[in-house]
Amino acid sequence: MQRYAQVIQLRAEDEAEYIRYHADVWPGVLERIADCGIRNYSIFLRNGVLFAYFEYHGTDYEADMLKMAADPETQRWWKIMDPMQAQMPDALPGEKWSPLREVFHFDGPPVK
């Protein structure tokens, strides 16, 4: 399992709409996310910055991300979401969600 964290800016004028869509994500989009090995996926919002965290349980991340990007339902979802988002000021050319580097992780003892 590999943990991923990413950030992107949310356009202020689209905040309510973005939250509304994510309160009821389309089943086909959720199915594709699961089919691509993603679990424990969360998106958080603070001061116009979206922070996404997920765990990848597959064996070929790049291939699974290409599979997700080729899915028509996911493409339709992204066509709605993309205009609501803006790259981070320090994003690399062509970078959508900017990856974060993990510098600390602690699972702790098993929960009893």
Nearest 5°: the CA angle 42, 33, 57 is 85
pLDDT computed for residue 89 by the predictor: 95
Any domain includes 106: no
Looking up tokens 């989009």 gives 29
Could you read off the pLDDT of 4-28 as tens digits, one per residue?
999 999 999 999 999 999 999 999 9
Pinpoint the alpha helices (H) of the chain.
15-22, 27-35, 61-70, 72-81
Q: What is the CATH number of the domain that holds 73?
A: 3.30.70.100
Q: Token digits for 17?
A: 């709409």
Which residues on neighbouring strands pair with residue 49, listed in sequence order?
9, 46
Residue type, 42: S
pLDDT computed for residue 84 by the predictor: 98
- Number of domains forming the structure of the chain: 1
pTM, to two decimals:
0.92
Which residues on neighbouring strands pair with residue 43, listed in sequence order?
52
Any domain includes 110: no
- What is the residue range of 85's domain? 2-100
Could you read off the pLDDT of 58-93 as tens digits, one per residue?
999 999 999 999 999 999 999 999 999 999 999 999
Any domain includes 35: yes
pLDDT computed for residue 64 by the predictor: 98
Any domain includes 112: no
Could you read off the pLDDT of 29-63 as tens digits, one per residue?
999 999 999 999 999 999 999 999 999 999 999 99
**Cα 84 from Cα 98, distance rounded (Å):** 16
